[in-house]
Amino acid sequence: MITVLFLGDIVGEPGREAAMRAVRIFQKSRGVDFVIANGENAAGGRGITGRIAIDLLRSGIAVITTGDHAWDQKDTAAFMATEPRLLRPVNYPQGVPGQGSIVLDTAKGKVAVMNLQGRTFMNQQLDNPFPAALAEVERLQEETSTIIVDFHAETTSEKIAMGRFLDGKVSAVLGTHTHVQTADEKILPNGTAFLCDAGMCGPEHSILGRDPRNIIKRFIDGLPTPFPVAGGPVRVCGAVIEIDEDTGLAIAIRRVSEIIGPDDE
């Protein structure tokens, strides 16, 4: 059995620090073998830089996924072209820097991670994620049966559809993007673990990781205003998935939602 920790969208410096602490805690106390985190909001709440990606990878995160904010920082494209463990959605057109999946060796066999992005209510109209996912899964299956998918999408319906579409073909389909954790974790009929949205690693007293005051002001007057990352205690959200490394099918999935601070290590 291989135990995978998947962390939802990391928001700003508070989310980064808490996520890195969570990795060390879960590796020591809960037997986690492999860690994946969505890092597309890790740089001040928008995008990710090469330096931040390196810090996250050095902390024990094996693969960083992204989404619609993947390119918000100016150095990301160049860095992504040289760092295969920082993924962008696989359904970007050909020629875009980086890659949408990776296969890594572990002590318990090869693990594949694939990054996808949905299209419903998303600003970027990428290639259809369903045929793109199927083609990439079939390619990855030539190397390993352990495949974890981050589906970065807005609507629950599109995420559930992807979970059902890939049921039995991958180990897990885990949604990201909304920063709000759902309570629908399950193992689908053919053995794929599913969670509509993993949530975020970010400030507890916030609106999607941002200072509530500016967000509320924007809703009231509609005027442009900066959305700084909030302060205070940080909640780490995600899921732990146990996978049979021989079949690649999920044995169990448990949601993670914990306040993690400097004194928790």
Supply the DSSP string of 34-52, one letter for each residue.
EEEEE-TBTTTTS---HHH
Residue 104's DSSP bridge partners are 111
Instruction: Give 32's pLDDT tier (boundaries 50, 70, 90).
Output: very high
Has 69 been annotated as catalytic?
yes
At residue 226, φ and ψ (nearest 5 deg) are -70, 150
> What 8-state DSSP symbol labels residue 199?
-
Given pLDDT bands bounded at 50, 70 and 90, which one contains residue 29?
confident
pLDDT score, position 203: 97
Closest CA to 235 of 67, 66, 47, 8: 8
Q: pLDDT-derived band of residue 200, with 50, 70 and 90 as boundaries?
A: very high
Catalytic choice (69, 152, 177, 179): 69
Please report the beta strands in 93-214, taking only residues with DSSP state E, as ranges in sequence order.
101-106, 109-117, 147-152, 172-176, 186-187, 193-195, 200-203
User: What are the sequence ranges of the domains in the chain?
Assistant: 2-258
Confidence of residue 265 (pLDDT cuts 50, 70, 90): low
Distance CA(49)–CA(73), nearest Å, equals: 6
Residue 48 has pLDDT above 90, yes or no: yes
Residues in contact with 131: Cβ distance below 8 Å, sequence separation at least 6, in sequence order: none
Tell whether pTM > 0.75.
Answer: yes
How far is it, in rounded angstroms, from Cα 105 to Cα 141?
14
Task: For residues 21-39, give the mean pLDDT.
Answer: 94
CA 172 to chain centre: 12
The pLDDT value given to residue 262? 78
Enter the CATH code of domain 2-258.
Answer: 3.60.21.10
pLDDT at 263 over 80: no
d(CA 220, CA 253): 40
**Quick one: what percent of the chain has pLDDT higher than 70?**
99
The predicted structure's pLDDT at residue 78? 94
Residue 45: predicted pLDDT: 85
